[in-house]
Amino acid sequence: MVAVENRPGLHNLVVCTLCSCYPWPVLGLPPAWYKSNEYRARAVREPRRVLAEFGLELSQQTEIRVWDSTAEIRYLVIPERPAGTEGWNEVRLAELVTRDSMIGAGLPRPVEATA
């Protein structure tokens, strides 16, 4: 397994264009959209538009790296750490991480404002 980090100005997205390779041991069975003809075809050619359709707008300057899982190497996206989490421990940070954010198809959960 290889972890790829999202950073300011860099966003990673994982796909398997040839079938549906997915990190089962970590993320369980893949969702239907990940295995769909549409995602497999479009993720490598127009990732920015696909992500926008998923509700994730990235600036034209943000580099997108699409990882096509053609071998048995499984790529996992480390989402960018949200602002407002200074001093949070691992357990607290883990609660913000979603399945989709580890595919690169979404962002981590927002930090709830505390009064």
Partner 1 sequence: MTRIHDLGGVQGFGWINREDNEPVFHAPWEGRVLAMYLLAKRPEGWNIDMGRHALERLEPVRYLSSSYYQRWLESLVLRMRESGLIEESEIEARLGAPDPAEGRAADPDIVQAMVARMSERHPYERPAPSELPSPFEAGARVRARLADPSGHTRLPAYVRGRMGEVVMRHGVHVFPDANAAGLGEQPTHLYAVRFEAEELFGAEADPATAVICDLWHPYLEPAE
Query: Binding segment for partner 1 among 21-29, 76-84, 90-98, 107-115 (CB under 8 A)?
Result: 21-29
Q: Which of 33, 30, 76 is nearest to 53 (CA)?
A: 33
Smaller CB distance to partner 1: residue 26 or 84? 26
What does the alpha-carbon distance between residue 50 and residue 98 come to, in Å, rounded to a whole number? 18
Residue 31 dihedral angles phi and psi, to the nearest 5°? -70, 160
> How many residues in total does the chain contain?
115
Residues 6+ apart with CB under 8 A from 90: none
Interface with partner 1, residue 83, by CB under 8 A: no
Instruction: Please tell me the count of residues contacting partner 1 according to CB under 8 A.
Output: 43
What phi, psi does 24 have (nearest 5°)?
-45, -50
Stretch that binds partner 1, among 63-71, 79-87, 88-96, 107-115 (CB under 8 A): 63-71
Catalytic residues: 16, 19-21
Q: Which residues bind partner 1 (CB under 8 A)?
A: 2, 15, 17-20, 24-25, 28-29, 31-33, 35-42, 44-48, 50, 53-54, 60-73
